[in-house]
Amino acid sequence: MSDEQTEAEELSQAVADAAVNEIEALRAEAAGLKEQVLRFAAEAENTKRRAEREVNDSRAYAITKFARDLLGVADNLARALAATPQNAETVVKNFVIGVEMTEKELQGAFERNGLKRVEPGRGEKFDANFHQAMMEQPAEDVPGGGIVQVLQPGYELFGRIVRPAMVVVAPKTAGESTAPESAQANPYAGGEGDEPGGSVDRKA
């Protein structure tokens, strides 16, 4: 083999190697660009979803204050019905029927607009996310940490608590609690950042 042929082969091999290296570099660059495009697409999608969620939250909870103000009306209607004597005269009975219909319509309006009543049953487990413990009261038929009585119903709007239900709970015994000592001081406390509703008002 002549020197010219050898040089030609070496040159050809060098060109081939350079081409392979360039192709590998282009592939690596393409892969990097693809990853960058995917990352930008993911960030854009996350931004879009976050914006949609914020818009939906804004729409859904725009009436929260209005709904909270109406709860006082519902409470007063409920108290008026609870205080009505059973042997009321016809006029009073007709008035009571009117109040009952008004309360029913008000509750219906709440339901149609996503405002749902939170009224746990006796013996139901206390949940600091939805209930506010006002006091403790022993009850033979209710286990520790269970609800004995509802003093005032709560309401939630699209899954978000507008007002927790105010309840009386059965006290927990030392043997019933498996929580850390710091949590045992208040077994009804919610987690960090929770809405108020976990603490027990022992003055109530």
User: In this predicted model, what pLDDT tens digit does every residue of 129-186 receive, in sequence order?
Assistant: 999 999 999 988 898 889 999 999 999 988 889 899 999 999 987 655 433 333 344 4
Average pLDDT over residues 52-60: 75
pLDDT tens digits along 85-102:
666 676 677 777 878 888
For the chain, the domain total comes to 3
Task: Name the token pair of 174.
Answer: 């030392």
- Same domain for 55 and 69, yes or no, is no
Q: Position of tokens 């009543």?
A: 117
Distance CA 194, CA 130 (A): 10
| Percent of the chain surpassing pLDDT 90 | 19
* 193 located within any domain: no
* 85 located within any domain: yes
Distance CA 100, CA 122 (A): 24
* 202 located within any domain: no
- Same domain for 151 and 107, yes or no, is no
Distance CA 33, CA 24 (A): 14
**CATH label of the domain that carries residue 121:** 2.30.22.10
Distance CA 148, CA 150 (A): 7
* 173 located within any domain: yes
DSSP state of 50: H
Confidence of residue 192 (pLDDT cuts 50, 70, 90): very low
* 169 located within any domain: yes
Choose among 203, 202, 110: nearest CA to 162: 110
- Same domain for 105 and 142, yes or no, is no
Phi, psi of 162 (to 5 degrees): -85, -40
- Same domain for 107 and 123, yes or no, is no
Scanning the chain, the segments in alpha helix (DSSP H) are 3-60, 64-82, 90-112, 181-184
* Domain extent at residue 166: 117-184
- The yes-or-no verdict on residue 126 having pLDDT over 90 is yes
Terminal C-alpha separation, the chain: 107
- Same domain for 8 and 56, yes or no, is yes
- Same domain for 40 and 85, yes or no, is no
* 23 located within any domain: yes
pTM, two decimal places: 0.50
Instruction: Compute CA 78 distance to the chain's CA centroid, rounded to the nearest angstrom.
Output: 27
Q: Residues 106, 76: contact at Cβ < 8 Å?
A: no
